[in-house]
Structure 1
Amino acid sequence: MGFLSPKDGGHALDLSAEEARRLPVFGVAVRYPAGYVVPQHKHPYGHLIHADRGLLRVEAESGQWLVPPTAAVWLRSGVKHRLVVPVALQAHGLFVREDVCTSLPAADCVVHVSSLLRELIMALARDNDSATSSKRMRLLGALLIEELRTPPILPLHLPWPTDSADSRMQHVCQALLDNPGDTATAAGWANRLAMGDKTFHRRFLLATGMTFGKWRQQLRLMSSLTLLMQGMPITQVALASGYDSHSAYTTAFGKQFGQPPSAFAADI
């Protein structure tokens, strides 16, 4: 049971064995190569996604999340999403029965993964064969639910314009995602789109819920995590992410994530 391997071109999940056992929490684990994309899909369960190495990007209609090894994405049941793998990693996906989700976060978010939570995730994703004790799985699942009740919410979410939002703002966001170091100002984007500065700012805020400056900084900092995990020197990461200096990047990173980029890089 689990994901079809990337080399076979699959992403579907065979959950029939677990559904038959009616476990409240169960999981799968799979390795993905760099550059792999799991097409958009959804599950009738709450879904916790964790990468034990590398950096995983989770994209949904409501936004995008980056998942380093110290975090996991929580998605409500039925949320359409796709997975983008910038660097090679092993992903663990846990599924939580809908009736058990009532005490878990009511919004999609990124949560901190403590040492205990990490071990629970790996155990539940690994012990998914019929020989594994259902009693043990239920106990592990119950402890995982308890750990997820009040997890620290991490600032790794990037709101994204929905399909019903201004398509021009979607274009701006996608262009910046493709090139986080783009130095064009809001005025420059307004000029490209043949609209006034105030109109651009108003439409961007309406589409994303954030100002252009704050959204772009969030994007740059989130995107820089991939470069840090690839071992790029911090000064080069700063410049590639659109910052003028090591110090400017380090200051912004510390305010956003509560630690300097050197500490983040040392933890991975």
Structure 2
Amino acid sequence: MAKTFTDGSTIALHRHDRDQLLYAISGVMRLQTKLEASVVPPDRAVYIPAGTLHSVSIHGTVDMRTLYIAKGQFRDIAIGVRIMAVSNLLRELILALSEEPITYESDSRGDRIAKLIELELERAKELSLSIPLARDPRLQRICAAILANPADDRTLGDWSELAGASPRTIARLFQRDLGMNFNKWRQRIRFHNALDDLSRGKSIAKVAQLNGYRSSSAFSAAFVREMGIAPSRVSEHD
């Protein structure tokens, strides 16, 4: 299915009986479940297992393609929400399938395209573009403040005072609840925030400054390592 969404649109909490693959030709999608938030930049896709309660927010103009897949078709993939790289071949196959009837006959062009998509999905690289959400109230206070201002450079020791716990306790909570250390989690927040800003046309230099980086080159290098895409490519899609 093909649909276009304008900047600021939202798709309220819902779930599907089938697995779902969301792909955006342009713009940025944010997906949120009970346990995590994920960002989906251009030329990336998100795989959502059947029954997963989720919402989607739109940043920039999003030209979306949605594939619905029989539950259990990809047991190795459908173990949780996954952000996936989209190869040039997979991209063209998704676009080609969106031109076929929603219900297609066995051995038809649509059926053959779908089978090729299956092969490409099985080999697609998974990307670390999800942010786990805090459960502990002390950690939630820190995370909420960083989400509100990703450029805040306070140390873990500074944040521990806000939370009313020792730095060692907060560090342990990050690993236990979020599966990563404080610096890694804050960096991922900054890059999610940066994707939003880039999709709205802000310059790389300005985005780097807003997210706590002193130079565009340092920001760009770190962005590519973490997100698997150059910041310039996000701007190009708008």
TM-score by length of 1: 0.79
Match of 2:86 in 1: 113
**Residue 39 of structure 1, aligned match among 5, 8, 12:** 12
Matched position secondary structure for 2:224: helix
1:102 aligns with 2:72: no
**Residue 49 of structure 1, aligned match among 6, 11, 22:** 22
> Residues 127 and 175 (structure 1 numbering): CA distance in 2 closer, same or farther, change over 3 Å?
farther
Q: Deviations over 1:143-166 (max 9, x none)?
A: 1111101111123222223xxx21
Gaps in structure 1 of 5+ consecutive residues: 1-27
Q: Which amino acid aligns with 2:216?
A: H
For residues 36 and 253 of structure 1, what CA distance do their matches in structure 2 show?
26
For residues 74 and 122 of structure 1, what CA distance do their matches in structure 2 show?
17
For residues 14 and 66 of structure 2, what CA distance do their matches in structure 1 show?
13
Matched position secondary structure for 2:72: helix
For residues 68 and 259 of structure 1, what CA distance do their matches in structure 2 show?
9
- Check whether the contact 1:55–1:85 (CA below 8 A) recurs between aligned residues: yes
Match of 2:61 in 1: 88
Matched position secondary structure for 2:165: coil
Q: Deviations over 1:153-204 (max 9, x none)?
A: 123222223xxx2133234323322332233322222111221111111112
Match of 1:200 in 2: 170
Q: Which amino acid aligns with 1:114?
A: S
Q: Give 1:67 shift.
A: 1.3
Matched position secondary structure for 1:98: coil
> Residues 266 and 86 (structure 1 numbering): CA distance in 2 closer, same or farther, change over 3 Å?
closer
Q: Give 1:79 shift.
A: 1.4
For residues 234 and 8 of structure 2, what CA distance do their matches in structure 1 show?
23
**Percent of residue pairs identical:** 30
- Check whether the contact 2:139–2:163 (CA below 8 A) recurs between aligned residues: no
Matched position secondary structure for 2:74: helix
- Check whether the contact 1:105–1:149 (CA below 8 A) recurs between aligned residues: no
Q: Which amino acid aligns with 1:123?
A: A
> Residues 249 and 196 (structure 1 numbering): CA distance in 2 closer, same or farther, change over 3 Å?
same
> Residues 54 and 150 (structure 1 numbering): CA distance in 2 closer, same or farther, change over 3 Å?
same
- Check whether the contact 2:194–2:207 (CA below 8 A) recurs between aligned residues: yes
- Check whether the contact 1:58–1:64 (CA below 8 A) recurs between aligned residues: yes
Match of 2:199 in 1: 229
**How many aligned positions are there?**
237
TM-score by length of 2: 0.88
Q: Give 1:68 shift.
A: 1.7
Q: Give 1:80 shift.
A: 1.4
- Check whether the contact 1:55–1:67 (CA below 8 A) recurs between aligned residues: yes
1:241 aligns with 2:181: no
Q: Deviations over 1:2-48 (max 9, x none)?
A: xxxxxxxxxxxxxxxxxxxxxxxxxx222222112211111121111
> Residues 37 and 170 (structure 1 numbering): CA distance in 2 closer, same or farther, change over 3 Å?
farther
Q: Give 1:254 shift.
A: 3.2
> Residues 36 and 175 (structure 1 numbering): CA distance in 2 closer, same or farther, change over 3 Å?
farther
For residues 61 and 199 of structure 1, what CA distance do their matches in structure 2 show?
24
RMSD between aligned alpha carbons?
2.3
